[in-house]
Amino acid sequence: MTTKYIQNTPLGLKFKVLDVVRSLIASIGRLFFTLFYGTESAKIPTIPDKDAILKEPAVVVARKIRRKEITSVEVLEACIRRIKDVNSALNCFVEDRFELALKEAQEADSLVRSGIMSEQQLEKEKPFLGVPFTTKDCIAVKGLHHTAGVVLRKDVIAEKDAEAVRLLRESGAIILGLTNIPELCMWWETHNHIFGRTKNPYNTTRIVGGSSGGEGCLQAVGGSVFGVGSDIGGSIRMPAFFNGIFGHKPSRHTVSNEGQYPVPESELTDSFLGVGPMTRHAVDLKPLLNVMAGESRSKLKLDEPVDLKKLKVFYQFSNNAPLVDPVDPEITEAMKKVIKFLNEQHNLEAEEKNIERLQKSVPIWFTTMKSGNNFERLIMKKRGIGAILFEMLKNLIGCSGNTFIGLFTALTDYTGVQYGSEKYKHYLRVREDLEETFTKMLGENGVFLYPTHPTPAPYHNEPVLRAFNFSYTSIINCVGLPATAVPLGLSREGLPIGIQVVANHNNDRLCLAVAEELGRAFGGWIEPQKS
């Protein structure tokens, strides 16, 4: 059906009415939150000059350690100081292994001083020797908690590293600790009832996104040299967008999901989930992905050069989906500047698209995420709608171990398209058709420019009124394509804005090359300021 035809059906008119009502409620909510939070934001101290190494890319830090220009211990101590300076205001870092990390840093420095391995050998075999990094609570780190923000898991300790963490540690990187996430990683504001809420360093009345929200926040303030996130519906790219950093969701089945909780329960949901790097500098994404991809790195051909002048560029300003906010004009203008830049600097004529199936982004994601197993069993002891509703009542008076949004998500398992039904199969076919559309459009040398999110970071709790805005990222998970979130400066309110760059399966290098070019052209990460 064409868009016009859909809009003129009874279902289309129903969505129009719902959209108007939702927009009205969201506008009233924005006024309420503006009055409630006011203009006061905690002032986050800038990175001191003595710790300026934290402003450098991970590849530069690694090189300086190899060349004995700085020690791993010095870098690690700078990270620890930074975490202690900012965490009381932001609540992004939730568990440390500082003592073990310091021992590992000393060992890295001893290896460099010993001369057993040449600088060239270290660069090849241990490219991130001595470089501190962090990851989110749902990605296993041996000896640390592995709660996924779920109270029922508050005492769970990881017995071994997640595969991506293991590979990074094998490359010489040193894990510092864990960052905060939403309950079971299933919401785009970072808040749970074990560690609480994380705040945006650009304005602490605003969200950091989710589920890698704590990681996005910590990277924005320079608390570690690089981070690791995971993304099943935008969980790397939304926090990257809200916190003004770079984040990459890899092509499906290229970085192992082993050690991630919750564990994907079907091949389809496993294909949606991707573990990837989160960094202040685009130049770090490719070498980190090269390590994290392990045995899959060969199919990504990351070392194959990219000639930007030979790219085909496509773009779309909006998905026009029901119940989703319109794209903020400042984000649209930023995308237009990117298109103009690529034309003027690389003679690339970008082609505007109107992929109508993107209007179905929300039902495609929700439907195909269903695996036949209830979300409630992962966050609650009791089962059933009655148990969920009772827990919601407890939540309202502050007596529940679950977040309200976690409980609401559990409730949705009993609604909507049912697993295995004809409608479920229908949306699988729609998803497959959309993937084919992208595959044919992008080919071997195409990239697609698309909003990461329709608005800059909303106020805390406000996502409840704008629940489906994550559709811009989630649909890319559904079709298994690689995508890189690229920061493009700050809005008039001082909040980060940006876009995502999407490429065809296993063509991650194209996203990353464009991200590096746009990072150079538009300034990339901007450190949050005190005032």
Indicate the domain borders of the chain: 17-43+54-295+311-370+417-522, 376-412
pLDDT at 85 over 60: yes
Verify whether residue 400 is a known catalytic residue: no
166's CB contacts (< 8 A; 6+ apart) are 160
The pLDDT of residue 37 is: 93
What does the buried/exposed string (b/e) look like for 393-430 if buried means 16 or more CB atoms within 10 Å of the residue's CB? eebeeeebbbbbbbbbbbbebeeebeeeeeebeebeeb
pLDDT at 418 over 90: no
Verify whether residue 88 is a known catalytic residue: no
pLDDT, tens digit (0-9, with 9 covering 90-100), for 137-186: 999 999 999 999 999 999 999 999 999 999 999 999 999 999 999 999 99
Confidence of residue 3 (pLDDT cuts 50, 70, 90): very low
263's CB contacts (< 8 A; 6+ apart) are 257
pLDDT at 401 over 60: yes
The DSSP output letter for 141 is -
Query: What are 446's strand-pairing partners?
Result: 312
Cα of 315 vs its chain's centroid, Å: 21
pLDDT at 430 over 70: yes
How many CA atoms lie within 13 Å of 361's alpha carbon, on the beta-carbon side? 23
Cα of 196 vs its chain's centroid, Å: 19
Catalytic residue, from 224, 235, 271, 361: name it. Answer: 235
Superfamily of domain 17-43+54-295+311-370+417-522: Amidase signature (AS) domain (3.90.1300.10)
Collapse the DSSP code of 253 into the 3-class scheme (helix H, G, I; strand E, B; otherwise coil) and give the result: coil
Alpha-helical runs (H) found in 115-229: 119-125, 163-170, 213-220
pLDDT, tens digit (0-9, with 9 covering 90-100), for 190-211: 999 999 999 999 999 999 999 9
What single string gives the DSSP state of each residue in 264-317? P-SHHHHHH-EEEEEESSGGGHHHHHHHHTGGGHHHHTTTS---GGG-EEEE-S
Whether residue 252 contacts residue 271, with contact meaning beta carbons closer than 8 Å, is answered with: yes
Verify whether residue 23 is a known catalytic residue: no
Catalytic residue, from 72, 171, 211, 230: name it. Answer: 211
The pLDDT of residue 8 is: 52
pLDDT, tens digit (0-9, with 9 covering 90-100), for 62-84: 999 999 999 999 999 999 999 99
CA distance linking residue 208 with residue 242, whole number of Å: 6
One-letter identity of residue 34: T
CA angle 259, 484, 324 (to 5 degrees): 95
CA distance linking residue 438 with residue 217, whole number of Å: 32
CA angle 213, 215, 216 (to 5 degrees): 65
Catalytic residue, from 136, 199, 286, 370: name it. Answer: 136
One-letter identity of residue 23: S
Query: What are 249's strand-pairing partners?
Result: 483
Compute the average pLDDT of residues 370-380: 82
Confidence of residue 5 (pLDDT cuts 50, 70, 90): very low
Residue 192 tokens read as: 């749970």
One-letter identity of residue 8: N
